Amino acid sequence: MKLLTAHKILIASALVFFVFFAWWEFRNYSNNGDGWAAWRSALYLVVALGFGVYLKNLKRWYKSLRPKETEKRD
């Protein structure tokens, strides 16, 4: 397994965790009317969105950081 694959698995699991946690906090807000739970739910969704964007662009960023084939020969 490549390091990039392991990194993708970890980021994807963090994304799923934060989506679940946002749902959990939203459920707390719905049951109790706690404003802080709504704020935390929104925060966790933003974090999950950030992880999603990172996961989506990870391969492109990885390719841009790797040296090109012509640079390897020098």
Instruction: Give yes or no for a contact between 48 and 19, defined as CB atoms under 8 angstroms apart.
Output: yes
**In this predicted model, what pLDDT tens digit does every residue of 3-34 receive, in sequence order?**
888 999 999 999 999 999 999 999 999 999 98
In this structure, the chain runs to a length of 74
Opening angle at CA 14, ends 57 and 24, nearest 5: 125
Alpha-carbon distance of 71 to 66, in angstroms, equals 10
Q: Which two tokens stand for residue 58?
A: 């990870």
Q: Is the pLDDT of residue 64 over 60?
A: yes
Average pLDDT value over all residues in the chain:
89
